[in-house]
Amino acid sequence: MGADLAAAGEEVYRSRGCNVCHTVSGQSSIGPTWKGIYGQEVQLDDGRTVTVDEAYLERSIREPDAERVEGFSATMPRLDLSDAEVASVIAYIRSLR
């Protein structure tokens, strides 16, 4: 089931335009790369450090301006994703460790 959920997340990544700003290659673009980010600590633009976990990712997807990774100033658009789509995107990001 985990692999199926991650595959669904990859489809959301491509079909909803996440790939325009977030790479999965390890090279950052307009937004942070998703490759290897899950479980890592990132510094936010307000100076706090957070761990990229499921709660952080869900908050970042649903409220893109709530916490911004330092060094990335572009505003992420709010996407109206279902709970299932959010869960699948998180599973996809986890799979990119």
Give the pLDDT confidence of 26-78 residue by residue, as tens digits: 998 899 999 999 999 999 999 999 999 999 999 999 999 889 999 998 788 99
Residue owning tokens 């990774």: 69
Q: How confident is the model at residue 7 (pLDDT cuts 50, 70, 90)?
A: very high
Rounded CA-CA distance 70/95 in Å is 24
86 backbone dihedrals φ, ψ, rounded to 5°: -60, -45
Residue ranges per structural domain of the chain: 2-95
Rg of the chain taking only CA atoms, in angstroms = 12
Is the domain covering 2-95 a CATH 1.10.10.10 domain?
A: no
Nearest in space to 92 (alpha carbons), one of 18, 20, 42, 28: 18
Find out whether 2 and 96 touch, Cβ atoms under 8 Å. Answer: no
